[in-house]
Chains A and B, each alone.
Chain A
Amino acid sequence: MDELLVHIEGIGWWTAQATDWAAAAAQLRGEAAPAAPATKPAAALLPPNERRRAPEPVLLACEAAAQACAMSERDAATLPCVFASIHGDLAITDAMCATLADDPLQLSPTRFHNSVHNAPAGYWTVATGCHAASSATSAWHASFGAGLFEAAVQALADATPVLFAAYDGRAPDPLGAVVGTAPAYANAFVLGPARSARTLASLRLRHEAQPAPAADAAHDPLAALRPLFAALAQAGPSYMRLPAGRASALAIEVLP
């Protein structure tokens, strides 16, 4: 099989200027101006205690994932999930490395268990009571394309709807100065394996052994994704290529 055909049943979105997909879609269609910046995602599905203490990437990923599940009317507890991120939690990496350089015996146990790349998947599955497979992935600046492809593979291999979420938080210096800093964002899809009454749009995905046009992913990971989400906002057909690896791309055809 060269192509994977999957069907979007729900979309989640969070940036400071658009805290859900309806707001983002209106802005992408040029019908609304960016909202006054929000400070952090509501992530209302997390218990209040955890919401207060949870790291930013957990809030981002859980907020977008919850929106996508709600739109799809699927039970989040039943959905395998794939959480993709370029960097993981750079704020925790920064704090841990600073402590390790200073006095390693003072490392915080909570910070350490929150430092795993699958922290958002962990918090998500606990909050939703999800016993299905959960994954946490990265492919550096190809993280969205490679993660989306993996989610589509899971949906088709087991004929099951799958939750896909992509997120990255802010990067504090001095780490940020090296890896690049961008505003926090998260987006999510519920992907169905077959077209149904729930289908909002379909995606035809093909992994190609030619590189995608270079995007400035370090400084704005969302820039490369804008054509995809703009096509979804306009409910029109579209074709784009996103980075999927060092010398490969994910070709995406949006079929309304």
Chain B
Amino acid sequence: MPDRIAPTAITAYTAISALGSGRAAHAEALRARRSGLRANDFTATPLACAIGRVDGLEDAPLPADFARYDCRNNRLAWQGLFADGFLDAARAAIARHGAQRVALVVGTSTASIGATEQAYRELDGGAFPAYLAEPRLHTPHSLGLFLEAVLGTRGPCLTIATACSSSAKVFAQAERLLRLGVADAAILAGVDTLCGSVLFGFNALELVAPEACRPFDAARRGISIGEAAGFALLERDGAGPRLLGHGESSDAHHMSTPHPEGLGARLALADALARAGMTPAGIDYVNLHGTATRKNDEVEAALLADLFPASTRASSTKGWTGHTLGAAGILEAVLTLQALEHDLVPGTLNTTTPDPACGPQLALANESRPLRTALSHSFGFGGNNCILAFGRD
């Protein structure tokens, strides 16, 4: 097992999703049990499903200085930067530490493939139309290139693209950079946006529910896909909640199906708890991956029931936001931190009859109770798992 790590300060953080822009909008939606999901009005080819869409991106191009990066994914990133004054906090950290001492670590799964899809829809004599013939839009690193240009960081800069664990793993990577002393601050981002690839791709895998997703419900029928941008600023010291631990693992089982006994998830959990110096009994709340697929929820419900006491409360917030894929790790980290700040256990929206595999930990209704520590689960294709542990300041 890994050694215990020192807590890392999260000195600024925010998110934008179908629930709105900023921490307060997210906390308020959780409290009011107001879902951001709506009937799919995104795809030109009809697809009966619910989506978590951010309004207004179509009419909000990037400023002229960044026009070469203009695409839905970077537009959402740009809007997210202004939520809760995150851009100001990031720039202040860069001024404080020096640009070369600030790392930029981003997680995404879609990146800007929506722009590539568009170029193929608009091929001109077999070639991309001129306005989309920008190589910076057709790379998994497009978000990193855009944010590096906006922020002017000169420390390590990297995209992690491990499907639905991408923007959880950015926390682990940032903590290592700070622990080794190769950076003094790390700006973390996770952004994924709606596009044909994920909507029709998950549909082809028969993993998309025709209605709004019902995590852990006995009658669940699959995921609802959403979009989001999340940001966090990590430093060794400072005011704010704490990253206490992180655990990463691989299922070594299958490209798109979780290990039947959740072996990888259990290894990631043990690793995260060891780094945090905690046991399951010390965890007040778990924000579950809870996608509402048959398989994920069955495996995760068993893990929860096996390993945690009934005093640990747990829920999936995907009924609010949809599954935001590469952004889910950081969006749900933000929701978890809001749960801690407000002593609020969000329930599991849309779910009425829990799967029999669920233990007493699963909260369906919202609960108000003191919360000091929490976990956030993220599991992705390729059997890629990451679990984060957080604590109050």
Contact between chains at B154 and A126 (CB < 8 Å): no
Closest A residue to B101 by CB, please name it: A209
Q: Which chain B positions have C-beta within 8 A of A247?
A: 154
B135 lies within 8 A of A131 (CB): no
CB of A238 within 8 Å of the partner chain = no
Residue numbers in A under 8 Å from B155 (CB-CB): 207, 209, 245, 248
**B162 x A209 contact (CB < 8 A):** no
Contact A87 B140 (CB under 8 A): yes
Known contacts being A101-B117, A118-B384, A125-B382, is A143 close to B154, with CB within 8 Å?
no
Sampled A-B contacts (30; CB under 8 Å): A4-B180, A86-B139, A97-B119, A100-B196, A100-B200, A104-B196, A107-B200, A108-B204, A112-B205, A115-B197, A115-B201, A117-B140, A122-B382, A131-B249, A132-B249, A135-B169, A137-B160, A139-B158, A143-B141, A150-B173, A157-B179, A157-B180, A158-B176, A173-B126, A175-B116, A179-B135, A208-B100, A209-B155, A245-B148, A245-B156
Using a CB–CB cutoff of 8 Å, the interface residues on chain A facing chain B are 1-2, 4, 77, 80, 85-88, 93, 96-98, 100-101, 103-105, 107-109, 112-119, 121-123, 125-126, 128-140, 142-143, 146-147, 149-150, 153-154, 156-158, 173-175, 177-180, 207-209, 218, 244-248
A113-B106 Cα distance, complex, nearest whole Å:
21
Tell me which of B135, B196, B203, B250 contacts A133 (CB under 8 A). B250
Chain A residue at minimum C-beta to C-beta distance from B98: A209
Contact of A109 among B117, B162, B204, B248 (CB under 8 A): B204
Interfacial chain A residues near B153, Cβ < 8 Å: 245
Evaluate whether A113 and B205 lie within 8 angstroms (CB atoms) in the complex, with A150-B158, A248-B154 already known.
Answer: yes
Q: Does B145 contact A (CB under 8 A)?
A: yes
Interface check B2, CB cutoff 8 A: yes
**Ordered nearest first, which 3 A-B pairs have the shortest CB separation?**
A122-B382, A112-B201, A209-B100
- Please classify how large the interface on chain B is, using the bins under 10, 10 to 19, 20 to 34, 35 or more: 35 or more
Binds A, one of B26-34, B74-82, B253-261: B253-261
The smallest C-beta distance from A174 to any residue of chain B, in angstroms, reads 5
A98, A133, A156, A180, most chain B CB atoms within 10 A: A133
A107 contacts B204, CB within 8 Å?
Answer: yes
In the complex the two chains form, what is the Cα distance from A207 to B186 in whole Å?
A: 15
> In the assembly, what is the distance between CA of A122 and CA of B173, in Å?
19
With A118-B381, A135-B160, A209-B154 known, 12 other A-B pairs at CB within 8 A are A86-B141, A97-B120, A100-B117, A100-B120, A119-B255, A121-B382, A122-B250, A123-B255, A126-B255, A131-B252, A139-B158, A150-B173
A68 vs chain B, min Cβ distance (A): 18
